[in-house]
Every structure is written in structure tokens, then in C-alpha cells.
Amino acid sequence: MNRLLCFLLLLSIFQTDHYQTLRNDMVKTQLEAQGIHNPSVLNAMRKVPRHQLVPGNVRHLAYEDGPLPIGYGQTISQPYIVAFMTEAIDPKPCMKVLEIGTGSGYQAAVLGEIVAEVYTIEIVEPLGTKAQKDLEKLGYKNVHVRVGDGYKGWPEQAPFDAIIVTAAPEKVPQPLIDQLKEGGKMIIPVGSNANTQELRLLEKRKGKIRTTSLLPVRFVPFTRDTLK
Ligand code: SAH
């Protein structure tokens, strides 16, 4: 019995090390090599156990350079895109951030490592419920999950220092612009056709929105309540 316990303990230490090595490699080859440089983003990406947030059948691919299916026709973005979006909002420890599209909970966990509070909304109920449980298990007390239509934002917690949207609407939802703090940043993929979407950065200055186009991207569509 003691031998078995010892073996299991060693196995779990080996596995923890193994995943840490994969994460360190991911940060080096996929993120730093492609220009991600914010130390708090790189640290968070070294820390969050992506393999514990994706479905078991794709766990072995968790640290590969690509998106992964998470069920219900949805996908988790590739690590580079998660890091790029997180870096784009210039996250700081004092910030309160809203995410639309919880999915697996991975992006929310990365934010949870850096900022004070994360509010995240998922429209597909089983995904939202699972992410909430997984994030709780991993100890993210500062990540708050709600199931619902993110189009309306989270008015009770607004305004937000930053907003990250991880599904693509045809145009930026007005309630999200309204819930962005003065000086705040929103990063959002926009476009109805997956072939022509672009990632945009919006900044609110003196009540006005300044938009910059950053990258061509391919996100799942932003759906509405009625399409659930
Ligand atoms: N950020 C996620 C990626 C999820 S993919 C992660 O790290 O895993 C985008 C998610 O947005 C999907 O789960 C999809 O169901 C959700 N979504 C689409 N439209 C939405 C809406 N109107 N409100 C909230 N979530 C939405």
C-alpha cells in the first residue's frame, strides 16, 4: 500500500513537471518568439493549467499552437491569440475586467492571474456551468461566471477597466461600449463572415471611441438569446 502511494505521488509530481515544461515551451516558442512581451501575461500563461480546462479527449493537445474544440460547436483560441488579447488591454492588478464568451474558462483564468476581478458571461449554459466549476476547483475566487447573453454586458458591475470579447458579432454591442470606463480598452473580433473578421481595439477617451484594427482572425459567432 505504501509503495502504491509512493508510486502515485511520484507519478503526479512527474506529471505536474511535465505540464510545467510544456507550458514553459509554449511561452517561449509560441508567445515570446512572436512578440508577446508583457511579463505578467507571460507569467500567467506559464501558470494556468490549460490542460485542466479543455475536454479530456484533447488534453494531450492543450499546449499545441492551435485552437481546440470545447464542445457545443465552440472552440478555445490558440494560446497566442489569448496572450495577444490579454496584452492588448494592458492588464494591471487593480483592474476589473469583463469577458464575453467564457467557453472553457481559460481566458478568464489567465485574466484572473493578473487583474483584481474578472466577470465573465457565457451563453451556452452547460459550458458556463462547467467553466464555473473548473475555475472554482482551480481556486480562482476572483473570477465570477454568469450564464446569459453577453450582448447586454453586466450592468450591475459596470463600468469596467477593460472588456475582452471572444466571439465575433457583426458590430460592437452598444451596451459594452457604454459599460467601458473612461480610459478603458475593449478588444473584440468583428465580422459576420469567418473569412473577413478582424480583431479591433477600442479605446474610450473623453467619451469618444477610437478604433484600431489589429489582426485578421477567425472566431466563433457571437450569438443572441433567441438563437440559443
Ligand atoms: N474565452 C473562451 C473561448 C470561448 S469561444 C475560452 O477561453 O475558452 C467563444 C464563446 O462565446 C463560446 O463558448 C460561445 O458560446 C460564447 N458566446 C457566443 N455568443 C455569446 C453571447 N452573446 N454571450 C455570451 N457568450 C457568447
For 173-190, the pLDDT digits (tens) are 999 999 999 999 999 999
Ligand 1 in reach of 173 Cβ (< 6 A)? no
Would 225 be classed as within a structural domain? no
Would 227 be classed as within a structural domain? no
Catalytic amino acids? Answer: 77
**Is pLDDT of 17 > 50?**
yes
The pTM of the full predicted model, rounded to 2 decimals, is 0.93
Give the whole-angstrom CA distance, residue 40 versus residue 62: 21
For 101-112, the pLDDT digits (tens) are 999 999 999 999
Are residues 103 and 127 in contact, defined by beta-carbon separation less than 8 angstroms?
Answer: yes
pLDDT at 227: 43
Domain span at residue 45 reads: 2-216
Of ligand 1's atoms, which has the minimum distance to the CA of residue 106?
Answer: 7
Would 72 be classed as within a structural domain? yes
Length of the chain: 228
Would 110 be classed as within a structural domain? yes
Are residues 101 and 124 in contact, defined by beta-carbon separation less than 8 angstroms?
Answer: no
Cα 117 to middle of ligand 1, angstroms:
19
**Which residue of 135, 163, 222, 225 sits with most ligand 1 atoms within 8 Å of its CB, as the best mutation to test the pocket?**
222
Give the whole-angstrom CA distance, residue 119 versus residue 176: 13
For 28-68, the pLDDT digits (tens) are 999 999 999 999 999 999 999 999 999 999 999 999 999 99
**Is pLDDT of 117 > 90?**
yes
- Grid cell at residue 93: 492588478
Cα 151 to middle of ligand 1, angstroms:
11
Section 119-134 average pLDDT: 98
Cα 166 to middle of ligand 1, angstroms:
6
pLDDT band at 226 (very low <50, low <70, confident <90, very high): low
Is 104 strand, coil or helix? coil
DSSP 126-172: HHHHHHHHHHHHTT-TTEEEEES-GGG--GGG--EEEEEE-SB-SS-
**CATH number of the domain residue 103 falls in:** 3.40.50.150
The residue type of 155 is P
Q: Based on the structure, what is the number of domains in the chain? A: 1
Would 228 be classed as within a structural domain? no
Pairing of strands 160-165, 96-100: parallel
